[in-house]
Each structure stands twice: as structure tokens, then as C-alpha cells.
Homo-oligomer: A and B are copies of this chain.
Amino acid sequence: MRKNSQLSRVLHILVHLNKSDQPITSAAFANMLKTNAVVVRRIMGMLRNAGYVLSTNGRNGGWVLNKPLDNISLLDIHQALGESTLFNIALTDEHQHCPIEKSVNRELQDVLQEVEALVLQKFSAISLDKIANH
């Protein structure tokens, strides 16, 4: 599975945004992240929908923060991005009636869910200004 880099990228963007007193364009971020402006709009669109940033059209337009970084947690961003699965481990479901498969899945799922909850808890305790001032 190809790894998901949206979280990492959007954090990078947000901290840069925080340091700017004027809008920054998708093209500028694309250049910064060595990717494409459409990719940036795709990610940032999710944050806009969640209320963390605003976009303005036209000349001198671009992206601005809509909340102070100390009011945004890593968990907020993770959730705004759609909470893609954290783990790279698949549970099989070829034979849902097979008691062994069920048992294997239950055991793996127990561990993964427990750990996922821990990740989310840790994410919630990290505010973006902590990253910005790191």
C-alpha cells in the first residue's frame, strides 16, 4: 500500500500559513511540497469544509487560516482529512463463518483498535502551535 502523506503535507502547509499575514496560493504550496496545485486544493478543500482555513478567489487570493493554531489539534486535522485508516494491516473476510478466521480477526482487531484509540488520544493532545514552535 502506498502511504498517505496528506497529514504530513497539510501540517506543513498550516504552519507556513500561520507565519504569513497574507493569503498563500495553491501554486506556491505545490512548489513548496513539490507537487501539483490541484493536489493542494484537494487537501485544503477538506480543511476548508471543516472550517480551519478559508480560500479566496481572484488576484491576491489564496489560503488563510480561519482558526488560531493553538485551537487546532492534530486529531482535528486527522479527522478533517477523513480519518483514513492508520494501519496497513488488513483483516480477511473470505469465510465469515469460519470460527478460526473470526478468532484471528477478533484478536487482531482488539489490538489494533486499542492502539488506534491511543494514537487518536495522543493526536488530540498535540496542538498545531506546539509543532509550529517546536
Interface positions of A (Cβ within 8 A of B): 1-5, 7-9, 11-12, 15-16, 32-34, 74, 84-92, 94-95, 98, 100-101, 103-108, 111-112, 114-115, 118-119, 122-123, 126, 130-132, 134
5 extra interface residue pairs, beta carbon distance < 8 Å, beyond A87-B88, A111-B123: A1-B1, A5-B89, A5-B91, A8-B105, A32-B95
Contact A115 B119 (CB under 8 A): yes
30 contacts between A and B (CB under 8 A): A1-B1, A1-B2, A1-B3, A1-B4, A2-B90, A4-B90, A5-B89, A5-B90, A5-B92, A7-B89, A8-B92, A12-B101, A15-B103, A32-B94, A33-B94, A34-B95, A74-B111, A85-B88, A86-B88, A86-B89, A103-B131, A103-B132, A103-B134, A106-B134, A107-B126, A107-B130, A111-B122, A111-B123, A115-B122, A118-B118
